[in-house]
Structure 1
Amino acid sequence: MELRHLRYFVAVVEEQSFTKAAEKLFIAQPPLSRQIQNLEQELGAQLFERGSRPLRTTPIGRFFYQQALKLLSNAEEIKLITQRAGMTERTIQIGYGSSLMCGLLPRIVYLFRQQHPHLNVKLVELNGMDQIQALKEGRVDACFGRVRVSDQAVKRVMLREERLVLAVHSSHAFANCKQPISLMQLKDEQIFTYPSQSGLGYAAQIKSLFLEFGLEPKRFHVLDGLQQSLGMVAAGEGICIVPESVKMMQFRHVNYLALADSAAQSPIYLMVRNDDEGQYTRPLFDCVYQVYDLEAIEYDRRVF
């Protein structure tokens, strides 16, 4: 009997369903059912009442549940004590795209710090393909970004899609428009985007968004970063398409407007190396969804 078998059993008891427990544990239902059957065979006792809805434990199952809780609690306590006693502080480096600091990333990282106080968490700003390269070279342990490109050396999970909005100067003809603006209306505008690097970064995503609709922006300028792009908007030089969370950056004379096109979205990914052992991958992943739950953000929960 292993601790994971106890965790499986406790999850089934608490969820009163093999299906719900499998979802909670991020495993398929058939393997979970087999693990519980094997556990019953090893104990020589039936732990659940067959055919009960919702699922109920037998008297011996209830006794085993209480003992399993104690064992799991003791195991976790021993683990924490051992970590604190013999610990040399470990640093985990997390890369991020600049626009993500305007959204929920700070709260996710703060929660991760609280749950892992023995870790030294260092944030590293990286954009586009630099994130992929930094992961492959081991300069960072995980990355939050918007890069769509796939790489065999990197595991990538899309957390959610974020709506894009239009940033315009308060004197712009669109500034007081009550209706969402279409991409067709923007094709002749001077568009600023970022960052100034080749590859499949955010700037390339914005340009491809126009191309998907058969539109070719006539004046498309790529600058070094988000703040510089919004600064150009504030100076009345042109417009900028940014993720919705960027609205928290209140530049004077910059208005944020809705875009009409449903495809005007930018993905947010969490990426780690394929050879990563995953010691902090799952906890970091869980922190993301704890924050999403608090914010009532819809998402398709996935695992690495």
Structure 2
Amino acid sequence: MELRQLASFLAVVEEGQFARAATRLFLSPPAVTGHIQRLERELGVQLLERSPIALTPAGERLVPHARTMLAAANAASDAVTDLHTDSPLPLRVGVMAPGSAELTPAILRAFRKAQPQTPISVESLSFAEHTTALTEHRVDVAFVRPPPDDERLRVDVLTTEPRVLIVPSANPVGDAESVRLTDVLDLPFVGLPKGAPRVFTDYLYFACARNGMPPRCGVDQAQTIQDVLTSVSAGRGTGAALYSFSRLYHWPGIRFVPVLDAPWEQSALATRRNDPRPEVRAFRTLAATLARDLGPKLAAASELAQPPAVLEL
């Protein structure tokens, strides 16, 4: 299986015609046809119906893997392009836990495979470091929520999810199957540090429904999601999160309750807009590829009518 065969296969899938795929790849139509025929022979299955162009079940299964393999190859190419040193600088990855749910470890694993020569350090980010860790050059890429509103940063949205309330199990709200924003606004929320940016406080406290009124905050201040969970489990406040948290955190004394009419929110990968490093570009490319290919699984897991799903990423 060759990369040019996979590139021809994806080009035909995305363009819908052999001729347009050939133009896109600067090849002749017979060359593109030959690539796909050899790929089908090697795999022993038909990937495309020819008249009209349509994916077979085997072709549908190959598409996400082909995209990931090409993205990894491009990342590897970027790693050696403009290389000025035999000891590449580490790529510093900031994660405001849990990042972008199951995508976070999947992206890190894919990058390690694509660029094993690039050292990676993973650093935990507090709520106050939503943007400052990047703007102060302490990390190179950051998994955060919601997407930062800062012109110095470039943002790639990775997940879009419903919202949940994090409440003590003993709280009457904890017995509800779901709530609405009118049930949420008067609850005492866990506080945030002064350095938390406005976009994050608006996200946490459902500012879109408060008409400018501030939230009622408890005595605790949380720097991380672990602080929120600790405070809530002790009955000292209420928190809010994305729906994926209900799959990822199992703490005694808390419940995750869907907020049915809250706007869906996003998690994102943020980088400095002017960062020239090819490793950063490669990381963004892999993140976007995996978000596109694995996104449907995450979306299915966020269906409120279904029990939490176990994803195989």
TM class by shorter chain equals: 0.5 to 0.7
Q: What corresponds to 1:190 in structure 2?
A: 188
Instruction: Go from structure 1 to structure 2 and tell me whether the alpha carbon gap of 1:193 and 1:251 turns closer, same or farther (over 3 Å shift).
Output: farther
Distance 2:160 2:32 in 1: 43
Please give the per-residue CA displacement for 1:153-209, whole angstroms capped at 9, x wherever unaligned: 32122222222211222221122223x1012112222111545524225333223x2
Greater mean alpha carbon deviation, residues 283-292 or residues 104-113: 283-292
Q: What corresponds to 2:203 in structure 1?
A: 205
Aligned length: 255
Whether the 8 Å contact between 2:126 and 2:223 is mirrored in structure 1 is no
Q: What corresponds to 1:220 in structure 2?
A: 217
Q: What corresponds to 1:119 in structure 2?
A: 118
Distance 1:260 1:92 in 2: 39
Please, what is the CA RMSD of the aligned residues? 4.0
Deviation at 1:87? 3.6
| 2:290 aligned counterpart, secondary structure | helix
Q: What corresponds to 2:105 in structure 1?
A: 106
Which structure has more relative contact order (CA 8 Å, sep 6+)? It is 2
| Letter aligned with residue 110 of structure 1 | R
Distance 2:144 2:188 in 1: 26
Distance 1:216 1:138 in 2: 35
Whether the 8 Å contact between 1:127 and 1:195 is mirrored in structure 2 is no
| 2:241 aligned counterpart, secondary structure | strand
Instruction: Go from structure 1 to structure 2 and tell me whether the alpha carbon gap of 1:210 and 1:172 turns closer, same or farther (over 3 Å shift).
Output: same
- Normalising by structure 1, we get a TM-score of 0.67
Instruction: Go from structure 1 to structure 2 and tell me whether the alpha carbon gap of 1:169 and 1:215 turns closer, same or farther (over 3 Å shift).
Output: farther
Distance 1:252 1:234 in 2: 7
Q: What corresponds to 1:19 in structure 2?
A: 15
Whether the 8 Å contact between 1:195 and 1:202 is mirrored in structure 2 is no
Whether the 8 Å contact between 2:148 and 2:270 is mirrored in structure 1 is no
The alignment-based identity, stated in percent, is 19
Pairs within 5 Å for 1:71-110? 87-100=86-99, 103-110=102-109
Deviation at 1:292? 5.8
Q: What corresponds to 1:160 in structure 2?
A: 159
Instruction: Go from structure 1 to structure 2 and tell me whether the alpha carbon gap of 1:103 and 1:193 turns closer, same or farther (over 3 Å shift).
Output: farther
Please give the per-residue CA displacement for 1:109-168, whole angstroms capped at 9, x wherever unaligned: 122212221111111222456343332343321111125443333212222222221122
Distance 2:199 2:77 in 1: 41
Whether the 8 Å contact between 1:149 and 1:200 is mirrored in structure 2 is no
The structure with the larger Rg is 1
Q: Does residue 237 of structure 2 align to residue 241 of structure 1?
A: no
Please give the per-residue CA displacement for 1:7-31, whole angstroms capped at 9, x wherever unaligned: 6x9735653267369xxxxxxx8xx
Distance 1:233 1:162 in 2: 22
Distance 1:244 1:193 in 2: 21
Instruction: Go from structure 1 to structure 2 and tell me whether the alpha carbon gap of 1:33 and 1:282 turns closer, same or farther (over 3 Å shift).
Output: farther
Instruction: Go from structure 1 to structure 2 and tell me whether the alpha carbon gap of 1:250 and 1:33 turns closer, same or farther (over 3 Å shift).
Output: same
| Letter aligned with residue 130 of structure 1 | E
Gaps of 5+ in 1: 1-5, 22-28, 41-46, 48-56, 67-71, 300-304
Distance 1:90 1:212 in 2: 45
Whether the 8 Å contact between 2:159 and 2:291 is mirrored in structure 1 is no
Distance 2:182 2:78 in 1: 57
Q: What corresponds to 2:261 in structure 1?
A: 261
Instruction: Go from structure 1 to structure 2 and tell me whether the alpha carbon gap of 1:211 and 1:273 turns closer, same or farther (over 3 Å shift).
Output: closer
